[in-house]
Chains A and B, each alone.
Chain A
Amino acid sequence: GENVGLHLPTLSVQEGDNSIINCAYSNSASDYFIWYKQESGKGPQFIIDIRSNMDKRQGQRVTVLLNKTVKHLSLQIAATQPGDSAVYFCAETYSGGYQKVTFGIGTKLQVIP
C-alpha cells in the first residue's frame, strides 16, 4: 500500500506486502534525513538515514528515497511483518553545528496478518 504525503495518517497493509510511507519536508537547508519507528509506549527508534548528496539508501528490508527537487522523502518496507506495526516519523536536520531534529507528523502503519 502507498500513503501519499501525510494526509492519510494510517496505512494498512497485508503481511508480506511492501509498504511505502511518504513525507514532505519543509526546510530547504536540511541536508540530513532520518526515519524513526515508534512503537506504543516507547521512544522513537532510528531506522535509516540519508544525506542530501544521495537519492537512495538501502538497509535491511528498508529503503529510503530522497527527492530534493520536490522536498520529498519516502520509506519503503519490503515484505511487511506484524512487528513493523508502529508509527513512522520522518525527520530533518542539518549537519552543520549541533543537530536539532525536526520531526514530521507521523504515519501509523497497521499490518494485517
Chain B
Amino acid sequence: GAGVSQTPSNKVTEKGKYVELRCDPISGHTALYWYRQSLGQGPEFLIYFQGTGAADDSGLPNDRFFAVRPEGSVSTLKIQRTERGDSAVYLCASSPLAGGLYNEQFFGPGTRLTVL
C-alpha cells in the first residue's frame, strides 16, 4: 500500500513569504506527527495530532508555525513570515493509534524547505 507522502518535495521561498507543506498519512492512521530535521541532526518533534486535534504542539518553535488536520487525514504545516533559519527538511509521520503501547511511526520522504 501507499506510504506517507509529502508535497512538495522541495520548496524554495524568499524570506518573509508564507509557505504550506502538505502531508498525506497512511490511510486509516489516527496519529500524525510533524518533525523538522536540520542538516546533520536528528528529527526534532514539532506537533502531534490525534485525529483532528493537535494533542501536543509544544515543539512548534514560535507562533509563525501552525498546523491543521481538519478532517483527521491530510495535514498542512503552515509557516508565516519565513526566516532563513526555517530552512530544513520537514518530515511527517503517521501511526495507526496513539496512546498506550508504542505504535511504529511511518515517515514520509520529507519536504526540503529553503528560505533565501
Number of interface residues of A (CB under 8 A): 23
Q: Contacts A42-B109, A43-B4, A106-B41; is A95 near B101 (CB within 8 Å)?
A: yes
B42 near A104 (CB under 8 angstroms)?
Answer: yes
Say yes or no: A89 contacts B109, CB within 8 Å: no
Chain B residues near A102 (CB, 8 Å)? 45
- Are the CB atoms of B102 and A105 closer together than 8 Å? no
Residues of chain B with a CB closer than 8 A to A89's CB: 42-43
Compute how far the CA of A102 lies from the CA of B60 in the bound complex, rounded to whole angstroms: 14
CA gap between A32 and B43 in the complex, in Å = 17
A103→B108 contact, CB < 8 A = no
The residue on B at minimum CB distance from A32 is B102
Residues on A with C-beta less than 8 A from B77 are none
**A30, chain B: closest CB distance, angstroms:** 11
B-contact bits for A93-113, CB 8 A (1 contact / 0 none): 101011111111110000000
Interface-side segment among B12-20, B66-74, B78-86, B91-99: B91-99
B: contact size bracket: 20 to 34
Interface centre among A41, A46, A99, A103 (most CB of B within 10 A): A99
| Of listed B44, B50, B101, B102, residue having the most chain A CB within 10 A | B102
Q: A103-B44, A106-B42 are in contact. Are A98 and B31 (CB under 8 A)?
A: yes
Q: Is the CB of A101 within 8 A of B45?
A: yes
A residues less than 8 Å from B110 (CB atoms): 42-43
Closest 10 CB pairs of A and B: A43-B107, A103-B42, A98-B98, A32-B102, A89-B42, A44-B107, A103-B43, A99-B102, A46-B104, A95-B102
